[in-house]
């Protein structure tokens, strides 16, 4: 097929106005708009093989454009251009407009002629910013071979582009500083506004509709059809109406939408346990090849295995709140994987809603790509308001295990919904509205990241000691208030039981959660024997003390359950419960003592 008749080629050109609209509204340095548009076009073309559902090409391109804009702003110093005046600039002649159209066309044709392997290499190196070392590992070749392949791709683009436009120059050097309004590598008569006009004219020649610029009624300057320099102002929708007969029909070019729609569901579910964060992360790691992260190891490194907190009166308490929420993101890097975080809070302001909608779409793109690789994503409270009102319990962290493009929905699983066995669906932008913070958060696995495993586990053991001594975090900064942590939490619990304030039902729950956490602590320490064989004796003893604590917790749980059924603690049951809490505290002290001995031995061996 001739490149100029390729429907994808025409559709990309037809969305240049949309790309410019997004860039103009989000870039901090608006003078870099042309560079930005070129980067988006290359990103779209080098990711062309990933497009499965052409009926939503516009939204996919918009998601790519927003992602490129986000990365673009992150790498550059802020530039405040909103207060700069609009500059009255001359309108270019029609032949210059057509020349600009040809520049975009030539860039697309050159990219289209790259092989799939060359496109993937260009995208990975220049846009995803993978290092040559990473690419070499992925392809099984040397760094020198990576550079040689990149050079071949550059030469291929250079041959096809020639010296007409210089559009490919961004591959070789950083953009030079330019005066405000000057467009890179083009006529210095073109301002950013005129570049927008050029793109809009290009779209008009190739065919488009108003929704290609996100249904925005943007004023654009347009050259008179007579070819003179008279300028008139028109609306995008009016220009669209004039050009609509030349529109490329998506359905005829790519087939019916329902034939192109994709859906996929992974056979992975969260692991039910005391922490929804760990249960969901464990599900994510199941999809990662050669993952060594057992449930116990995740609990140990993330800290849930060693945490214990209490409030005055030993009443209702979300034991894992501060670990699953407050310290969670600081500990994610210790897992040895790069994890992309899409999170935003909605204050109700229009700007927040727009940002949230854009972020939800970016997450939708990333989650589907991850699921296609066999790796589910983690999401905070993946349920809509309507589902929550209907009784669906999917609070805290859950797992996104599938998607359906036709309905733009995720398939989710949550340990509170039939122990994670029953799946349910939720729209990609339909969750994150159910708590007071109105928090949207999705975690997507990106790639493994080398970490020092020894350092990670030493840090986890030090955190365990800090938890026990109440020094793991500053309570003034914690979002979930408690009155005591670690050893002090046992003492507060014991006092509440002894005074008769503690309810049997609440104490039963505390005993259940404590036993589950310390069971994972014992298992984690036994796993570390292979990591630290020189400290095997101390680690084994510490695990044994936690075994003793688990047995004590089980006994206390049963005792509190009987007292709950009876309506309250009897005097004898209260005394026994107090003594069991004391025994649990002693077992925890003994275990922490062995962990401190392990750390001392490791420091001596360094």
Closest to 200 (Cα-Cα) out of 176, 181, 221, 186: 221
Q: Which of 99-113, 126-140, 433-447, 505-519 has the lowest mean pLDDT?
A: 99-113
Residues whose CB falls within 8 Å of the CB of residue 516, separated by 6 or more in sequence, listed in order: 273, 274
Tell me what percent of the residues of the chain surpass a pLDDT of 70.
72
Query: Alpha carbon 141 to chain centroid distance?
Result: 30
- Domain layout of the chain by residue ranges: 3-258, 262-291+337-449, 310-317+467-606
Q: Which of 118-127, 327-336, 400-409, 418-427 has the lowest mean pLDDT?
A: 118-127
pLDDT band at 80 (very low <50, low <70, confident <90, very high): very low
Taking the C-alpha atoms of residue 249 and residue 11, their distance in angstroms, rounded to an integer, is 9
Query: What pLDDT shows up at residue 340?
Result: 94
Query: What pLDDT shows up at residue 352?
Result: 78
Q: Mind spelling out the 3-state secondary structure of 57-93?
A: HHHHHHHHHHHHHHHHHHCCCCCCCCCCCCCCCCCCC
What are the tokens at 184? 């890179």
Q: Which helix (H) or strand (E) holds 299?
A: helix 295-302
Q: Mean pLDDT across the chain, nearest whole number?
A: 76
Residues whose CB falls within 8 Å of the CB of residue 352, separated by 6 or more in sequence, listed in order: 344, 345, 346
User: 497-552: per-residue pLDDT in tens?
Assistant: 999 999 999 999 999 999 999 999 999 999 999 999 999 999 999 999 999 999 99
Report yes or no: 402 and 378 within 8 Å, Cβ to Cβ: no
Query: What pLDDT shows up at residue 113?
Result: 72
User: 44-57: per-residue pLDDT in tens?
Assistant: 877 766 665 556 67
pLDDT at 62 over 70: yes
User: 552-600: per-residue pLDDT in tens?
Assistant: 999 999 999 999 999 999 999 999 999 999 999 999 999 999 999 999 9
pLDDT at 402 over 50: yes
Strand partners, 351: none
């Amino acid at each position: 097929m001739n490149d100029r008749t390729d429907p994808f080629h025409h559709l990309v050109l037809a969305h240049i106005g949309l790309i410019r609209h997004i860039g103009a509204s989000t870039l901090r340095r608006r003078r870099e708009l042309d560079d930005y548009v070129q980067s988006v076009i290359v990103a779209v073309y080098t990711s062309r093989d990933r497009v499965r559902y052409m009926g939503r090409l516009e939204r996919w391109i918009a998601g790519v454009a927003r992602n490129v804009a986000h990365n673009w702003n992150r790498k550059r110093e802020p530039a405040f251009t909103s207060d700069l005046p609009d500059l009255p600039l001359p309108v270019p002649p029609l032949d210059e407009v057509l020349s600009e159209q040809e520049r975009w066309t030539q860039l697309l044709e050159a990219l289209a002629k790259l092989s799939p392997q060359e496109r993937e290499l260009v995208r990975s190196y220049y846009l995803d910013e993978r290092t040559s070392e990473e690419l070499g590992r992925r392809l099984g070749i040397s760094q020198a071979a990576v550079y040689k392949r990149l050079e071949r791709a550059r030469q291929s683009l250079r041959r096809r582009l020639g010296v007409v436009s210089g559009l490919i120059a961004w591959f070789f050097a950083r953009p030079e500083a330019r005066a405000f309004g000057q467009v890179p590598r083009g006529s210095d008569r073109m301002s950013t506004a005129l570049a927008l006009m050029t793109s809009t004219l290009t779209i008009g020649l190739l065919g488009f509709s108003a929704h290609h610029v996100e249904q925005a009624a943007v004023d654009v300057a347009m050259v008179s059809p007579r070819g003179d320099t008279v300028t008139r102002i028109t609306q995008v929708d009016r220009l669209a109406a004039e050009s609509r007969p030349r529109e490329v029909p998506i359905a005829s070019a790519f087939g019916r939408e329902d034939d192109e729609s994709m859906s996929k569901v992974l056979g992975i579910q969260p692991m039910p346990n005391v922490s929804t964060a760990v249960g969901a992360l464990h599900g994510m790691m199941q999809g990662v090849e050669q993952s060594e992260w057992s449930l116990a190891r995740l609990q140990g490194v993330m800290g849930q295995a060693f945490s214990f907190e209490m409030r005055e009166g030993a009443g209702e308490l979300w034991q894992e709140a501060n670990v699953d929420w407050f310290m969670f993101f600081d500990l994610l890097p210790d897992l040895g994987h790069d994890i992309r975080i899409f999170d935003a809070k909605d204050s109700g302001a229009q700007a927040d809603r727009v940002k949230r909608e854009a972020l939800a779409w970016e997450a939708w793109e990333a989650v589907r790509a991850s699921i296609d690789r066999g790796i589910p994503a983690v999401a905070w409270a993946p349920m809509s308001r309507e589902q929550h009102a209907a009784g669906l319990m999917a609070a805290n962290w859950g797992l996104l295990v599938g998607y359906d493009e036709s309905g733009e929905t995720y398939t989710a699983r949550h340990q509170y919904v039939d122990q994670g066995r029953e799946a349910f669906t939720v729209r990609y932008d339909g969750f994150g509205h159910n708590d007071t913070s109105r928090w949207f958060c999705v975690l997507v696995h990106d790639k493994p990241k080398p970490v020092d495993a020894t350092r990670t586990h030493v840090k986890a053991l030090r955190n365990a000691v800090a938890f026990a001594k109440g020094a793991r975090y500053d309570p003034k900064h914690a979002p979930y208030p408690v009155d005591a942590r670690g050893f002090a939490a046992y003492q507060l619990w014991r006092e509440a039981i002894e005074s008769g304030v503690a309810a049997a039902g609440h104490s039963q729950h505390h005993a259940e959660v404590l036993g589950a956490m310390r069971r994972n602590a014992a298992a984690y320490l036994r796993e570390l024997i292979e990591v630290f064989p020189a400290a095997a004796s101390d680690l084994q003893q510490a695990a044994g003390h936690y075994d003793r604590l688990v047995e004590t917790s089980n006994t206390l749980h049963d005792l509190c359950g009987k007292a709950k059924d009876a309506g309250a603690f009897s005097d004898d049951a209260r005394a026994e419960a107090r003594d069991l809490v004391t025994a649990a505290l002693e077992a925890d002290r003994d275990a922490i003592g062995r962990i401190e001995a392990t750390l001392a031995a490791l420091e001596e061996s360094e």
